[in-house]
């Protein structure tokens, strides 16, 4: 029988809502069971992997129970707690105080309690997953991450494991395409101590400095850098991709080609200041849930694909509402 841990979350934390708040909850080695409302995850520890099941038996704010498939040492228990707290975003930008401040900035999300965005147990895993999500369909991103876990490490590849791989091996066995050399170089940089996740998350470091550092990394362009910013708890940058443009056209009723539309999106969310990504993201996520149902109910699928929201007819535009911050999508 394995170890059982109890983790005390903030008093406004809801596991199903806050885990199923970002697409990475559907990427290996994460697996959300919608029937049982349980998150399954393999965590890679220095002395061996451990399978963990997370559930919140009570109501919002009640303890989260973690059941492990083996007995953990005291040190391993500390490691697992730290990794889970990062994944679930229980501290820093995910603290109750930070969420309350966000709700003051954008009152639309106070009733639903939205504010936390799910992420990985380590900065390095978030970095690799972000690289695998660029210039590709979601189904291929799902495949890449599944193969990285199947071929290299069930708890997700360690930096040293990626650093030792040959590009051809990553390309053929893990389906990562042109990203092969970039993933290997990121592994080598991490092994050399050049990718300190704590530095990227340290609020003492200016957002612009952190963003520029991310842009200097292999495989990290403007979209990836902005996405990594929110994954380290910095929400002042927008990660604009094809879904952002679709949202702008179909939900916000903005017009124009991609370049001008991108500028309009930045201007639209500018009033939300340091929380602009969260305001944008929960609009987009809520729009998906209107069509697909709540994310915590989405069925498990091997491909990780789900039906995209239907395009809005030109004759029937989405309803809009006006707030102090301008025209916003109805939520």
300: pLDDT confidence band, cut at 50, 70 and 90?
confident
Are 103 and 138 in a shared domain? Answer: no
Whether residues 255 and 220 fall in one domain = no
Residue 322 reports pLDDT greater than 60:
no
Q: How many CA atoms lie within 13 A of 285 on its CB side?
A: 25
More confident residue, 129 or 323: 129
The residue range of the domain holding 293 is 242-329
Asked if residues 245 and 160 have their Cβ atoms less than 8 Å apart, the reply is no
The whole-angstrom separation of Cα 282 and Cα 303 is: 24
> Are both 11 and 61 inside the same structural domain?
yes
The reply to whether 154 falls in a domain is: yes
Model pTM above 0.85: yes
Domain co-membership, 206 together with 302: no
The 10s digit of each residue's pLDDT in 206-233 is 999 999 999 999 999 999 999 999 999 9
Mean pLDDT of the chain: 92
Q: Are residues 289 and 202 in the same domain?
A: no
Q: Which of 80, 109, 138 is the last residue of a domain?
A: 109
pLDDT on residue 308: 40
Q: Where among 75, 109, 143 does a domain terminate?
A: 109
Q: How far apart are CA 107 and CA 99, in angstroms?
A: 11
Specify if 61 maps to a domain.
yes
| Domain co-membership, 221 together with 249 | no
Distance CA 37, CA 54 (A): 9
CATH at 220: 1.10.340.30
Nearest one of 157, 190, 160 to 173, comparing CA atoms: 157
Residues 143 and 223 in one domain: yes
CA distance 160 to 186: 10
Distances, alpha carbon 269 to alpha carbons 21, 143, 221, 323, in Å: 20, 33, 21, 13
- Please tell me the predicted confidence (pLDDT) of residue 215: 98
Per-residue pLDDT band at 125 (split at 50, 70, 90): very high
The answer to whether position 115 is within a domain reads no
Distance CA 266, CA 100 (A): 24
- Could you read off the pLDDT of 7-60 as tens digits, one per residue? 999 999 999 999 999 999 999 999 999 999 999 999 999 999 999 999 999 999
Whether 329 has a pLDDT exceeding 60, the answer reads no
pLDDT in tens, 75-112: 999 999 999 999 999 999 999 999 999 999 999 999 99
Any residues with CB less than 8 A from the CB of 46 and at least 6 apart, and which?
79
Report residue 148's pLDDT band, with 50, 70 and 90 as the boundaries: very high
Provide the pLDDT for residue 312: 36
Domain CATH number, residue 14:
3.30.310.20
**For residues 247 and 265, what is the distance between their CA atoms, to the nearest angstrom?**
10
What's the pLDDT at 75? 98
Are both 50 and 80 inside the same structural domain? yes
Residue 105 is assigned to a structural domain of this protein: yes
Q: Classify residue 114: in a domain, yes or no.
A: no
Q: What is the pLDDT of residue 1?
A: 84
Instruction: Let me know if residue 204 belongs to a domain.
Output: yes
Residue that terminates a domain, selected from 40, 74, 109: 109
Q: Are residues 220 and 292 in the same domain?
A: no
* Residue 114 tokens, joined: 């939205």
Q: pLDDT per residue over 305-317, tens digit each?
A: 444 433 333 334 4
Q: For residue 166, which phi and psi values (nearest 5 degrees)?
A: -90, 145
**Domain shared by 215 and 252, yes or no:** no
Domain count, the chain: 3
50 and 10 within one domain: yes
Are residues 280 and 309 part of one domain?
Answer: yes
Non-local CB neighbours of 121 within 8 Å, separated by 6+ positions: 41, 43, 83, 84, 86, 87
199 HSE (CA, 13 A, CB side) = 11
pLDDT digits (tens, 9 = 90+) for 160-206: 999 999 999 999 999 999 999 999 999 999 999 999 999 999 999 99
Residue 217 lies in a domain: yes
Which residue did the predictor score with more confidence, 311 or 283?
283
Question: Residue 116: inside a domain, yes or no?
Answer: no
Q: What is the pLDDT of residue 192?
A: 98
- From the number of C-beta atoms within 10 Å of its C-beta (0-12, 13-18, 19+), residue 114 rates as buried
Of 45, 86, 84, give the one whose Cα is nearest residue 66.
84
The three-state DSSP-derived secondary structure of the chain is: CCCEEEECCCCCCCHHHHHCCCHHHHCCCCEEECCCCEEEEEEEECCEEEEEEEECCCCCCCCEEEEECCCCCHHHHHHHHHHHHHHHCCCHHHCHHHHHHHHHHCHHHCCCCCCCCCCCCCHHHHHHHHHCCCCCCHHHHHHHHHHHHHHCCCCCCCHHHHHCCCHHHHHHHHCCHHHHHHHHHHHHHHHCCCCCHHHHHCCCCCHHHHHHHHHCCCCCCHHHHHHHHHHCCCCCCCCCCHHHHHHHHHCCCCCCCHHHHHHHHHHHHHHHHHHHHHHHHHHHHHHHHHHHCCHHHCCCCCCCCCCCCCCCCCCCCCCEEEECCEEEECC
């Amino acid at each position: 029988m394995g170890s059982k841990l109890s983790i005390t979350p903030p008093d406004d934390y809801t596991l199903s809502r806050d885990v199923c708040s970002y697409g990475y909850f559907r990427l290996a080695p994460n697996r959300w069971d919608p029937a049982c409302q349980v998150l399954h995850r393999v965590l890679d520890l220095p002395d061996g992997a451990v399978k963990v099941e997370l559930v919140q038996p009570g109501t919002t704010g009640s303890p989260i129970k973690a059941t492990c498939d083996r007995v953990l040492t005291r040190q391993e228990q500390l490691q697992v707690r730290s990794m889970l707290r990062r994944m679930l975003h229980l501290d820093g930008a995910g603290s109750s105080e930070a969420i309350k401040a966000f709700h003051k900035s954008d009152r639309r999300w106070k009733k639903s309690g939205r504010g936390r965005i799910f992420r990985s147990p380590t900065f390095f895993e978030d970095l690799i997953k972000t690289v695998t999500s660029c210039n590709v369909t979601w189904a291929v991103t799902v495949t890449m991450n599944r193969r990285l876990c199947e071929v290299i490490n069930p708890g997700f590849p360690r930096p040293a494991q990626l650093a030792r791989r040959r590009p051809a091996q990553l390309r053929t066995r893990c389906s990562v395409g042109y990203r092969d050399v970039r993933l290997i170089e990121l592994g080598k940089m991490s092994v050399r101590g050049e990718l300190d996740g704590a530095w990227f998350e340290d609020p003492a470091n200016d957002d612009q400095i952190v963003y520029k550092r991310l842009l200097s990394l292999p495989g990290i362009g403007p979209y990836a850098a902005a996405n990594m910013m929110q994954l380290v708890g910095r929400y002042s940058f927008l990660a604009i991709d094809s879904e952002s443009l679709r949202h702008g056209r179909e939900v916000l009723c903005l017009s124009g080609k991609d370049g001008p539309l991108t500028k309009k999106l930045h201007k639209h969310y500018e009033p939300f200041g340091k929380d602009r990504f969260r305001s944008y993201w929960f609009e987009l996520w809520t729009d998906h849930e209107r069509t697909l149902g709540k994310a915590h109910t989405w069925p498990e699928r091997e491909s990780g694909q789900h039906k995209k929201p239907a395009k809005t007819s030109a004759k029937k535009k989405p309803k809009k509402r006006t707030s102090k911050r301008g025209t916003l999508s109805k939520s």
